[in-house]
Every structure is written in C-alpha cells, then in structure tokens.
Structure 1
Amino acid sequence: MIHILVAAHAKVGVNILLGAEFILGQQERTHSIEYQVGDNLNLLKMQFQEVFDGLGEEDSLLIFIDLYGGSLCNVAASFMSKLSKRNAVRCECISGVNLPMVLYALENRDREECGLVDLKEECLNVGLGGIRDIKAEFRL
C-alpha cells in the first residue's frame, strides 16, 4: 500500500493534508512532518525515521517536500539512499508540493494498475498542470 508523507516548513505540510481531507474526506496512510524554527537536524531525522519505522514490508512511500535543496529535501534524500542500498521500503520523492498533486496521489494511490513510480510521474504532471496564470486563463 502506498503511504503519503508531506514534509514542509512550519505547518505547510499538515495544512495541505487538512485541505485534501476537506475535499476528499478523512484519509488513512498519510503522514506529515513539520520543520519548525529552532528544530535541529537530529529531530528532523527522528521524525523521518518514525514514519519509515511505521511502514510494513509491502508498503511504499511517496514523499512530497516543499522546497528543493533544503534540509527536508536533503534528509529525505539521505533516507532514500539508505533504503535503496538495503533494498528496503520503496520510496519516491517530489519537491515543490502543491494541493493538486497531493489530491491526485490520495485519489489514485490504490488503483490496481498504478505503481509507486507511475504515481510519482502522474503527480508531477498534475502538480505542474495546477500552476496557472489566472489572468491569462480567464482573459482578464
């Protein structure tokens, strides 16, 4: 089963998940990590470790990060590197999280024909497609 993790600065991640639940209803297999002012990297690593420790052998994880190259991104990449070397939990990660891509992931993660890598690619497309120039779109 595919779990969804949204890791972001302050309360961005938890609020994206709350927004998704507002639209879709309560969701299971979702996780959020908040990186707050004053948090150190050890705490951040512990939060990621807790999520990974809660996954079963058959589970996989799609991580959404708010900012490419930041602490959250780097810690996620470090965990993904360790996991791939051990052939452990399958994991993919996308930076630049937005609500459309998380909605898509939640709505489609249980499709029988949708694997983790396919879901990641589809979420990337949906996320980019959700970024629009409203003035141009509405011809204002």
Structure 2
Amino acid sequence: MKRILIATHGRLANGMLSSIELLAGTTKGIATINAYTNDTDFDAELEQFIDSLTADDQLFIFTDLYGGSVNQKVTKTFLEHKIPVTVIAGFNFPIILEILLSRGDLTQEKVTDLVDKCRSELKVSFLTEAHVTDDEEDFF
C-alpha cells in the first residue's frame, strides 16, 4: 500500500491534508506531522507512524524545506530504522496529488518524472493595473 507522511514546520501539513481531502476525496494512507506547534518534540509522532508501517508499504515523505530541521530529523530516523523511503523536500501541492493518485508502485524514474512535471507547475504572474478588466470573458 502507498503510504504518505507530510511533515512540516507549523501547521502546513494539516493544511495540505485538508486540501487533499477536498480535491482527491480521500486521505487514506496519509499521515501528518505539524512540527514545533507545541512544547514537545515530534519524535513520538514519527515513531508512531513508523510502527504503523508494513513491509508491503511504498513510503513517500514530503517535507517543507530541504535541509531544514524537520527534513533532517525525518531522514535520520528512517535511515536509523533502515526503512526504504522516498523523501521529497520543498514539495508543492501538485506533487502530493500526483503521488497519491498514481496507480501501482512508483519507480525512482517515475517519481523523478513526476517531480519534474510538478516543478513546472510553478508559475509567476506579474499583475498590474494595466491588465485589470471587468470583462468576465477575459478571465481565462
């Protein structure tokens, strides 16, 4: 079974989970860790997630910042437990949806392709008054 852990600084993980449920209709197999939101460390939450895994699980972990404290702790913990995992740091919403909704086991090549595809989903729009219009036909 595909298992996903979203581990972030603050409550970003739960926000992502809420959006996933809204758009995908399911959060089965997804867990979240909202690090540093209280005075306790998130070690216990991480261990609880690890205890829930089975040998058949294909595991994906999404962290908000590559090299950040959450990313470092998650990576170190899974290495210590010798659990195979794909860690995607600096994620965006499309990559979580792509991984979640992809059927079957995902190869390293497929995951890399999905990350590249979702990276291209980042767009920049510079909006100015000159572009403002009240015409609903111009919206798209």
Normalised-by-shorter TM-score class: 0.7 to 0.9
The CA distance in 2 between the partners of 1:15 and 1:79, in whole Å, is: 24
- Per-residue CA deviations over 1:113-134 (Å, capped at 9, x if unaligned) read x425345323421331121113
Are 1:95 and 2:89 counterparts? yes
8 Å CA contact 2:36, 2:42 repeated in 1: no
The CA distance in 2 between the partners of 1:53 and 1:94, in whole Å, is: 21
Change (3 A) 1:128 1:63: same
When the two chains are superposed, the root-mean-square deviation of aligned CA atoms in Å is 2.0
8 Å CA contact 1:62, 1:120 repeated in 2: no
- TM-score normalized with structure 1 length: 0.80
Are 1:63 and 2:61 counterparts? yes
The CA distance in 2 between the partners of 1:39 and 1:64, in whole Å, is: 23
8 Å CA contact 1:104, 1:126 repeated in 2: no
Q: How many residues align?
A: 128
2:100 to 106, 110, 116: 106
Matched letter for residue 115 of structure 1: L
Partner of 1:127: 118
The CA distance in 1 between the partners of 2:13 and 2:7, in whole Å, is: 5
8 Å CA contact 1:97, 1:127 repeated in 2: no
Tell me which protein shows more helix as a share of its residues. 1
- TM-score normalized with structure 2 length: 0.80
Query: Unaligned regions of 5+ residues in structure 2, if any?
Result: 132-140
Are 1:24 and 2:24 counterparts? yes
Query: Unaligned regions of 5+ residues in structure 1, if any?
Result: none
- Per-residue CA deviations over 1:55-92 (Å, capped at 9, x if unaligned) read 111112100000111211111110232233xxxx3211
> SS of 1:93's equivalent?
strand
The CA distance in 1 between the partners of 2:36 and 2:110, in whole Å, is: 29
Tell me the percent identity.
23
8 Å CA contact 1:2, 1:116 repeated in 2: no
The CA distance in 1 between the partners of 2:114 and 2:28, in whole Å, is: 19
The structure with the largest alpha-carbon Rg is: 2
Partner of 1:45: 43
8 Å CA contact 2:11, 2:37 repeated in 1: no
